[in-house]
């Protein structure tokens, strides 16, 4: 486990970073701006983003560039925390594993669409040298065989081979995503169970299982309402972890015949919660549940691994909120409409 000095240092650093997090008033001020450059100029004044954005030219910055800088800053903050004397082993590599999986899926989607330039443009260059396979080699792949060769000597090759396809166009992206994320969640779970004990393990499982469960709920809504999958097929895309919702409730959600019935199953606590879900949609609703749980965990935890896990989730949500504001400003949406889309 971490020694007390390292643990206290990590907790102090994380709370210091989040103490400078953006407030509702900050978002409201950004949402009043007229273009991406004005948003960037305002962000540069915030102590939490001043260093990351110090070299940008507000007159020429574009959305994609600003988004990459924000994600780069998040990765550097993770790397700085990772350099402390952690003894948690592979658990602390989970953000890199998640990004590796996202890049593999993105490459498959673009190969199927015969798009090559976009992958290189959006490649997270700040992660070069940190991944278990060369990201530049992934960018050069042109077919499934080359993709498998790129991820040789990693667990991803076995998982992709297990899909039973030999051509990139015959790959079902949903099956691919589910297989890769099943491995990710299983690995994360096993690392928590093996490397931690007591309250630390309990709180980490609460945070991880909550995130997975909310992803399951998003999948159920998406597969039933947009793809019209039957019960058996929906179950194929769920992950075997839960936290807040018991099995009977999840079964009822899967068997629900329409959106109204799904709302009643998911929000038995009252009409007000159901109205929020109906107005905002399932993803903002579940993201807010995740945000509220992990903010509460971070506020009260004294465990550095829990602080690390929840911090990264909360920071990712903040970065996504900024991107949402940028998109809203770019398309000249009204301020109140932008603010309603934020995860707060």
Least confident of 58-62, 152-156, 190-194, 239-243: 58-62
Please name the residues in contact with 62: beta carbons below 8 A apart, sequence gap of 6 or more: 36
* 130 C-beta neighbours (distance < 10 Å), count: 16
pLDDT over threshold 90, residue 115: no
> Which tokens go with 165?
């396809």
- Mention every residue, 6+ apart, whose C-beta is less than 8 A from residue 100: 131, 132, 133, 156
Place of tokens 């273009």: 35
Whole-angstrom distance, CA of residue 30 vs CA of residue 27: 5
Neighbours of 317 (CB within 10 A): 20
pTM (2 d.p.): 0.90
The number of angstroms, rounded, from the C-alpha of 184 to the middle of its chain's C-alpha atoms is 13
Residue reference for tokens 């490397």: 195
> What's the rounded mean pLDDT across residues 91-106?
93
Element (H, E) at 331: none
Phi, psi values for residue 301, rounded to 5°: -75, 150
**pLDDT, position 58:** 83
Separation between Cα atoms, residue 2 and residue 7, nearest integer Å? 6
Side-chain-side CA neighbours of residue 232 (13 Å): 0
DSSP 53-112: TTT--TTT--HHHHHHHHHHHHHHHHHHHHTS----GGGGGHHHHHHHHHHHHHHHHHHH
Report the candidate in 33, 43, 48 with the shortest Cα–Cα distance to residue 66.
43
Question: For residue 114, what pLDDT is reported?
Answer: 86
The predicted pLDDT at position 89 comes to 64
Count the neighbouring beta carbons within 10 Å of the beta carbon of residue 325.
Answer: 29
- Say whether 234 sits in a helix, a strand or coil: helix
The DSSP secondary-structure symbol of 143 reads S
Question: Is 70 exceeded by the pLDDT of residue 26?
Answer: yes
Mind giving me the DSSP string for 181-242?
A: HHHHHHHHHHHHHHH--HHHHHHHHHHHHHHHHHHHHHHHHHHHHTS---HHHHHTT--S--
Q: Is the pLDDT of residue 310 over 90?
A: yes
Length of the chain counted residue by residue: 344
**pLDDT, tens digit, 9 for 90 and up, residues 139-181:** 999 999 999 999 999 999 999 999 988 899 999 999 999 999 9
What integer pLDDT is reported at residue 317 of this predicted model? 93
In b/e form, how buried is each residue of 88-124, taking b as 16+ CB within 10 angstroms?
beebbbbbbbbbbbebbbebbbbbeeeeeeebeeebb
| 8 A C-beta contact, residue 241 and residue 189 | yes
Rounded CA Rg of the chain: 21
CB 123 within 8 A of CB 135: yes
Burial zone of 84 (CB within 10 Å; 0-12 exposed, 13-18 middle, 19+ buried): middle
Asked whether 151 and 179 are in contact (CB, 8 A), the reply is: no
The pLDDT of residue 209 is 95
């Amino acid at each position: 486990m971490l020694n007390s000095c390292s643990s206290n240092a990590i907790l102090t650093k994380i709370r210091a970073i989040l103490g400078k997090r953006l407030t509702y008033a900050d978002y409201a001020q950004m949402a009043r701006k007229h273009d991406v450059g004005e948003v960037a100029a305002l962000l540069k004044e915030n102590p939490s983003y001043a260093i990351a954005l110090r070299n940008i030219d507000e007159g020429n910055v574009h959305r994609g560039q600003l988004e990459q800088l924000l994600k780069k800053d998040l990765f550097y903050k993770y790397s700085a925390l990772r350099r402390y004397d952690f003894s948690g082993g592979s658990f602390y590599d989970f953000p890199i594993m998640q990004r590796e999986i996202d890049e593999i899926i993105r490459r498959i989607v673009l190969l199927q669409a015969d798009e090559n330039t976009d992958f290189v443009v959006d490649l997270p260059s700040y992660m070069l040298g940190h991944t278990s396979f060369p990201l530049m080699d992934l960018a050069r792949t042109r077919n499934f065989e080359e993709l498998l060769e790129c991820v040789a000597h990693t667990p991803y090759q076995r998982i992709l081979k297990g899909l039973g396809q030999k051509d990139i166009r015959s790959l079902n992206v949903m099956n691919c995503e589910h297989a890769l994320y099943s491995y990710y969640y299983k690995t994360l779970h096993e690392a928590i169970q093996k490397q931690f004990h007591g309250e630390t393990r309990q709180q980490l499982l609460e945070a991880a299982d909550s995130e997975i469960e909310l992803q399951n709920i998003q999948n159920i809504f998406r597969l039933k309402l947009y793809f019209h999958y039957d019960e058996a097929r929906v179950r194929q895309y769920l992950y075997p972890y839960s936290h807040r919702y018991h099995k009977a409730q999840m079964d009822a959600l899967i068997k629900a015949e329409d959106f109204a019935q799904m709302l009643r199953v998911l929000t038995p606590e009252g009409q007000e919660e159901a109205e929020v879900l109906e107005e905002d949609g399932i993803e903002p609703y579940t993201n807010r549940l995740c945000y509220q749980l992990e903010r509460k965990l971070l506020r009260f935890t004294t465990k550095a691994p829990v602080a690390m896990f929840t911090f990264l989730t909360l920071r990712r949500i903040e970065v996504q909120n900024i991107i949402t504001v940028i998109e809203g400003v770019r398309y000249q949406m009204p301020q109140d409409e932008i603010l309603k889309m934020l995860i707060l």
